[in-house]
Amino acid sequence: MTAAMKKSLFTLLLTATAAVAFARTPAPTDESAFTGVSASTGIPAITNVPASEYPKVDDQHRAWFRLNAPDASEVLVDICSKKYPMTRDDKGMWSVVTEPLVVGPHYYALVVDGVRVNDPASSAVYGCGYYASLIEIPEGPEGDYYRFCKDIPHGQVRECRYWSAIEGRARRCYVYTPAGYDKGSKSYPVLYLQHGMAENEEGWHTQGRMADILDNAIASGEAVPMVVVMDNGNCDYSFGARPGESMQDFGASFEKVLLEDTIPWVESTFRVRTDRENRAMAGLSWGGKQTFDIVLAHTDKFAWAGAFSGAIFAMPGADIASLYGGVFTDADKFNKDVHLLFLSNGTEEGLGGMALDKIFDGAGIRYTRYVSPGTEHEWLTWRRSLNEFIKLIFKK
């Protein structure tokens, strides 16, 4: 791939990442909550902070915003770069209603006299390299797979800290343990699940709703019980923020940390199986790239891999022998060693990731492709991708 091609693909990736929506774990609300609610009234968004009436969402999927700012001259709502000017009443209350929004989480900010600020009435999540406001437009019953279900057993998500000898500092990760973990003595397979560029280890637990996704899939028997580790991929800022850092170096330090610090700590702290057959890795966007970089260089340690909208830089016609140290040159060996190579994307992404399919098809590499209908480079794509991926791993 030429430098120009890499720059073009990476620019597209950055653009998509900057426009992504982020979600915080809300109450299990869906469109049925709008029954009997008028469009002019709406209901408080499920991503509001406690006791906040606004923002609201109505049955047309419009969002209603208010801000008390009597001294402001101009206030806008900026939803993924789409700006909505707000109107001031005689008491200094600013308000606006948007056009209908697509279902799912939407990242937004208030712009007060030219200054971007978070909405004090909404939850804030980490994404795009900072904490941002969030509003979620609820799906219908099709979103039940990531909603809390009161009728099933639930696992736990633990915030953990451990010492990294490589970095000489404490690191933070989140660890999901399945229902029943604390009551038994059995060991579990483990999935290392990575965030994307300018996100951090909070993302899959908050924006991704992974605990509810795992709980529901395990309770239904579609996924085997597993431990999931969500660590910081050392890419929790936007590429270019550190002068002189190359694309190849961005987040690359995580590989050594994962292999020499994180995995040994996990295996000495939690009841997880320690063989490659019971170790998987997956990630979204840049975390998908890290998954490919790490797993394909260490198939002796991992048997399952997933890249959700992965930042995989491969062009049609690429020499497969030049990719990932030649791991794909012996298709029979690769297909035997890697039980699942999972690729996914949203139909509206346009990132070119499906170029890999032609390369793999031509080389006889076995893989699974999932396509999320109607979604872009966003958390709804990645929630769906995780839901599909976990149903396939640790099964032979």
pLDDT 10s digits, 189-245: 999 999 999 999 999 999 999 999 999 999 999 999 999 999 999 999 999 999 999
Q: Over pLDDT 70: what percentage of the chain?
A: 89
Residue ranges making up the domain that contains 260: 144-389
71 and 180, same structural domain?
no
Burial readout 89-98 (b: 16 or more C-beta within 10 A, e: otherwise): eeeeebebbb
For residues 68 and 182, membership in a common domain is answered with: no
Task: Count the domains in the chain.
Answer: 2
> Tens digit of pLDDT for each residue in 120-178?
999 999 988 999 999 999 999 999 999 999 999 999 999 999 999 999 999 999 999 99
Same domain as 155, residue 175: yes
Q: What are the structure tokens assigned to 58, written together? A: 């109505």
Distance (Å, whole) CA 70 – CA 72 = 6
In a shared domain, residues 249 and 292: yes
- Do 90 and 217 sit in the same domain of this protein? no
Q: Residue 223 is part of a domain; what is its CATH number?
A: 3.40.50.1820
Residue 83 lies in a domain: yes
Pairwise pLDDT comparison (227 vs 312), residue with the higher score = 227
> Quick check: is 363 in a domain?
yes
How far apart CA 265 and CA 276 sit, in angstroms, is 16
Q: Is 85 inside any structural domain?
A: yes
My answer on whether 181 and 82 are in the same domain is no
Strand partners, 115: 112
Taking residues 74-83, what's their average pLDDT? Answer: 95
- Residue where a domain stops, chosen among 119, 138, 157: 138
Q: What is the pLDDT of residue 14?
A: 38
Phi, psi of 179 (to 5 degrees): -55, 135
CATH number for position 78: 2.60.40.10
Q: Are residues 75 and 222 in the same domain?
A: no
pLDDT at 24 over 90: no
Whether 16 is covered by a domain: the verdict is no
For residue 217, is it within any domain?
Answer: yes
pLDDT score of 301: 98
Gap between the Cα atoms of 175 and 2, Å rounded = 39
CA max distance for the chain: 73
- 265 and 376 assigned to the same domain: yes
Residues 168 and 307 in one domain: yes
Residues 195 and 114 in one domain: no
The verdict on residue 243 lying in a domain is yes
pTM for the model: 0.90
Residue matched to tokens 């190579």: 341
Please state, for a pLDDT cut of 90, what percent of the chain lies above it. Answer: 81
